[in-house]
Amino acid sequence: MQETEQRRSSSPKQPIEKKLPQASKKTAASQSGEGERIQKVLARGGVGSRREIERWIDEGRLKLNGNPVSLGDRLKAGDHLQINDRVIHWEKFAEQPTRVLLYHKPTGEVVTRRDPEGRPVVFTQLPKLETSRWISVGRLDINTSGLLLVTNNGELANRLMHPSTQVEREYAVRILGNVSDATLEKLKQGVELEDGKAKFDDIKFFGGEGANKWYNVTVSEGRNRLVRRLWESQEVVVSRLMRVRYGPVVLPERLKARTFYELTDKELDLLFEFAGMEHEKRANTANPEFKGNRPRRS
């Protein structure tokens, strides 16, 4: 219990931090013309990210009213859309409200829809969607716990994950033994890994008893197992790793493992502002009810 309070002591009570700077990617200019671009509609429906859909268009996998789709094509009422010759009922994506969940992932779960080894997957813990699917904003490996954002808005997910946005990720790390100031400074200056140079943007000591010490570290990229690899490059053993913040979103203190919290419309406004996007307004601003492991709000 003492360790839990220690590693999350810097997290505010609200799930969205209001004073963090906006993601570096600028707001896209509003599109002119009738209808919406195909990649935008499908991304909003969770079919894939906008970048993925644009690649599918280049590969000739999409047809609009029987003709190959071009990148500038727009969807209008009555249009017939196919992906790999399968009909897509895109109209249901047009008015779909964005939903974002904060899921507290425990160690032992994998961030995938199906696991051939039969390990538990995070998506079975989430409410079912009728017209789209949940998309994870980044991943956490099986041995990492903490904050995982999921949304049904593919464009929002892509904005928050894209390398150009350089969204901060903050982790609480428990390590074995002491670390010298010289090693900490080296980790902040940057070290060479097998996939290029990397560094911690910030390192804060949060105490600890005996051999175990807690640090909070911040990185601005989502390379695979980056936090662990940085520590291991200095022969430091990581015994526990927990993500406590992704961009402006923090892990609520009272959110237990295997439970989730859904952002309110006001909180979504802040997240869309951070991502440089306009947030569509719901007719009913209250969070929709659903079954599942929903905790009381923090």
Residues 241-283: tens digit of each pLDDT: 999 999 999 999 999 999 999 999 999 999 999 999 887 654 4
Report the distance separating Cα 62 and Cα 87, nearest Å: 10
Decide if 2-24+96-275 and 36-94 have a common fold. no
pLDDT of residue 256: 95
CATH architecture of 2-24+96-275: 2-Layer Sandwich (3.30)
Contacts of 47 (CB under 8 A, 6+ apart): 53, 83, 88, 93, 132, 154
pTM score, two decimals?
0.74
Return the higher-pLDDT residue of 218 and 39.
218
Q: Which amino acid is at 185?
A: E
User: What rounded mean pLDDT belongs to the chain?
Assistant: 84
Q: Confidence band (pLDDT; 50, 70, 90) for 290?
A: very low
Q: Return the domain boundaries, the chain.
A: 2-24+96-275, 36-94
Kindly name the residue from 58, 115, 141, 195 that is annotated as catalytic: 141
Higher-confidence residue of 29 and 62: namely 62
The angle formed by the CA atoms of residues 252, 258 and 263, to the nearest 5 degrees, is 45
> To which residue do tokens 């099986």 refer?
142
Model confidence over 117-162: pLDDT tens digits?
989 999 999 998 877 789 999 899 999 999 999 999 888 998 999 8
Q: How far apart are CA 133 and CA 44, in angstroms?
A: 10
Is 141 labeled as catalytic in the residue annotation?
A: yes
Could you give the angle at the alpha carbon of 137 between the alpha carbons of 241 and 227, nearest 5°?
30
Domain 36-94: which topology?
A: 3.10.290
